[in-house]
Structure 1
Amino acid sequence: MKQRFASIRYRYIISHLNALFLTTVTILSILLTIYVLFSPNWLTSESIFLFIALYISLAFIFSFYVGFKSSGDLKERLDYLSVLITQFANGNYSSRVYSKEADELARIGNELNELGEKLQNQVKSLQRMADEKAELAKTAHKSAVIEERQRLARDLHDAVSQQLFALTMMSEAAVKQLESNPNLAKEQMKDVAAASLQAQTEMRALLLHLRPVHLSGDPLPKGITKLINELKQKSQIDFEVRIDEDLVLSETKEEHIFRIIQESLSNILRHASATEVTLNVTKRSNELFIHIRDNGKGFDVSNDNERKTSYGLKTMRERSEELGGTFTIRSNVNEGTYIDIRIPC
């Protein structure tokens, strides 16, 4: 009920009644002043109060009627504006309101029409940008797939293919020397065994690259644990792993961190010849710390000629920087490799 009497129509009626009250008080004051000062015969106290009573009765009815009728057009136009705003709120930016008058409400309606047109154009622009972004994402994905295939093909050719060719040559040489020089044949077979072990390590590293980039719905600690357990079964490396189980990260960060760790373990398998690997993933204050260490043969960090290793390190550094973090690597020949990554949470 309170809301109803607060409407524009009843405010109009109340304004007319206020005018009636002020007019009545003014007329009554004038008549009483004339009566007191001049006391004319035609003006008596009874006639004054009779006149005021009759005036109030008629004026009240007229004020109520005129206020109710005159506010109808204003209320209708305000309702049109309210409906237009509701349409905009619901996303229907093509709605418009039209008025023949040239007052303030008509100006507000025209401004709302212009606003709706601008919103409609912005929606079209956003949709066009979304389509363009989707096309760019598809193109980038295709380029990334092609680049990854080319890299894997290059690695297969440069590493595994050449090792298999060497195995074939050494095996044929050992067979020829088996009867005439058994000792030489034995040494050559040892070389065959070592080369086959190296080829097997290369293949495991390449298969590690072919794993899905995402975590398949698993949280980061569980995904890393699965990866380490798989590598324990397929290699002779002793892993020491410490991961905070209560890590809460966004899906994008988890995938990037998982891929960084995957890349580092692949590099260790292929190049380090390590027997021990330490992996720590801990959260301190507002930063995530990732520490990866191996006791392998190491390398000269300033030497960029080792193309295969530097490619993996470059990818890890780029992923770290995409997350707003820092990537630090320390390594020396025959002293192992240390990688420290700090990512803000």
Structure 2
Amino acid sequence: MHVAFFVLLCSSLTRYLIVHPGAPSTPWVIVLALALALLYVLGPILGPQHAGARGAAPDTAAGLWLAAVIGVWFALVILAPSFGWCAVPLYYTGLRSLRPRYSIILIALMTAIVVGAQAKLRLRYGFDPNLLFAPPAGAAVATAVFIYSQRQAERLHTVITDLVRTRRELAATERREGTLAERQRLSMEIHDTLAQGLSSQQMLLQAAERLWDSDPAAARRHIRTAESIAEHNLAEARRFVHDLAPADLAGGGGLDEALRTLADRETSGTLQVRFHQDGTPATALPERVQAALLRIAQGALANIREHADATTAALTLSHLDDQVVLDVADDGRGFDPVEKPGGVRGHGLPAMQARVRQLGGTLTIESTPGEGTVLTAAIPLVPDAVT
């Protein structure tokens, strides 16, 4: 639009000099054309910046600048009606500078000036409908296009603002969900490692205290076992801080060897734990699957030791074609899995369910009061489920 203004200004001045050589008003036309060009160039400094789009009135300097531009242009049109073509770019200047209501009034006045000047110039040729209808039509089109574009820009600005706000809210939601997920992961890790180890040590130390006078040898065995558990818990804590795999998996023997080590470690004078492997894996299990099944086995054995009052327990790892299944069975007191045991403390079963669910697997519990319990964790070996 700026380029169009200067092209029209220069062409109008050139036409005047060609058509009216040596006219008395030529110096005034040249001076006014240069003044109009200079004022237009000073527009970015003195003029308002899209005041009409914001609905705010221009300040004093901007108002004086706009009045000077229109005044100089009006004087030029009186002296040389061909400068009326510069009205079209000036329409947009008024639309950008004023509120819509006032800018429409200004455009109407400018259009009337153009029509009057052109009609006075060509009156000797007779009535020309184009002189009466073409300038108002051009002004109406220019105004409609500008107002429509401004409305579209405002809608787009609103959409972008909403989009930015939505993205911020989504990012905040994702951060909260990530925080909650990390807290859940930490709670499960702490429950399945440190909490269980501390519980075992507490039971062993209490047993040692009861046997200290009557059976010192048994008491010392309990203390040595508690010391071994403490050492193992220390290793788990260090790996937990560094976000590494469980300590039993660090040796490289795989899940089978880790479960066998776990069974040996959990075996005591009151609880016999056996491990059995059924089948061999075609490929190495993903680390997430191995860690999850090992934690589930640790949690299940902790529940058996603290709540089941069992004498034997069995860990069975079955490698099938499309899934790996871990069964943990005991001959303890059992319970009714349909009822919600509100009095049961800890987070063992919810933690197991969360681990299995994260890997796309299922956790089932079969138990009857007085007949023991069988816990089964099945995890599919589908890439989408374990990545």
Q: TM-score, normalised by structure 1?
A: 0.44
Q: TM-score, normalised by structure 2?
A: 0.40
